[in-house]
């Protein structure tokens, strides 16, 4: 059995846009906690015409820093991995500032017998403009992002693959710094393990999670 080893060697200055690769930039929000590590990462894909993945928590300072870093560029797509309160709430203000459409699996659905799910960390007001399904692709200038439906951590969790760099934006599904929290009723451990197995059939070179460092050679961690 592969030994599970974590990597907590990660420093991030809130509000600073960092180049990760030719097509990827990252800015970390100022929301460190035991669950978010150093904060939630907002990723930018492309140059000139860009996609923003996970705008983050409702933080005006993070929004201002993000818009300043993207001055002169066009945000054409806003993608959300899932609607926890540290990932999706800033979407509304970013959309108002840019006019970009939002893309995600969907909002949180009611369960059969419990009405609305009552996890306090869920952004219940979130609904995307465009509902993605597994395998859907969105495209921009020089980049494309494939949707991978990976429920478990949350019922609407998606990862996004960037084939141009064999990179996977893993959200909170697989992280290098810690295991993912699976909190019922919306989190589901059976779905989570099935979503992990789904990744074992892929050949991504690098995972870029929403918290903590990237992970190269990710399949042993999966």
Mean pLDDT along residues 158-177: 98
Give yes or no for residue 3 having a pLDDT over 90.
Answer: no
Sequence-separated (6 or more) residues with CB below 8 Å from residue 218: 168, 174, 199, 204, 206, 207
Would the pTM count as exceeding 0.75? yes
What span, in angstroms and rounded, lies between the C-alpha atoms of 175 and 200? Answer: 15
User: How many whole angstroms separate alpha carbon 157 and alpha carbon 175?
Assistant: 14
220: CB partners within 8 A, 6+ apart: 2
Reported as a single tens digit per residue, the pLDDT across 92-143 is 999 999 999 999 999 886 555 444 444 458 998 999 999 999 999 999 999 9
Q: What is the pLDDT of residues 13-57, one digit of tens each?
A: 999 999 999 999 999 999 999 999 999 999 999 999 999 999 999
- Pick left, alpha or beta for residue 221 (phi over 0 → left; psi -120 to 50 → alpha; otherwise beta): alpha
């Amino acid at each position: 059995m592969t030994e599970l080893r974590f990597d907590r060697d990660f420093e991030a200055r809130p509000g600073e846009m960092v180049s990760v690769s030719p097509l990827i930039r990252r800015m970390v929000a100022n929301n460190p906690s035991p669950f978010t590590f150093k904060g939630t990462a907002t990723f930018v894909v492309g140059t000139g015409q860009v996609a923003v993945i996970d705008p983050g928590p409702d933080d005006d300072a993070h929004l201002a820093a993000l818009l300043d870093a993207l001055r002169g560029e066009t945000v054409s797509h806003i993608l959300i991995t899932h609607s926890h309160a540290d990932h999706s709430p800033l979407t509304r203000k970013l959309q108002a500032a840019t006019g970009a459409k939002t893309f995600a699996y969907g909002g949180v659905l009611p369960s059969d017998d419990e009405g609305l799910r009552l996890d306090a960390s869920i952004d219940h007001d979130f609904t995307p403009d465009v509902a993605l399904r597994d395998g859907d692709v969105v495209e921009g200038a020089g980049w494309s992002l494939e949707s991978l439906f990976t429920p478990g951590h949350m019922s609407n969790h998606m990862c996004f693959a960037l084939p141009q760099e064999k990179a996977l934006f893993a959200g909170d599904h697989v992280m290098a710094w810690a295991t993912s929290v699976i909190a019922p009723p919306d989190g589901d451990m059976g779905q989570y393990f099935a979503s992990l197995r789904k990744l074992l059939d892929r050949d991504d070179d690098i995972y870029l999670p929403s918290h903590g460092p990237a992970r190269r050679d990710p399949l042993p961690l999966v």
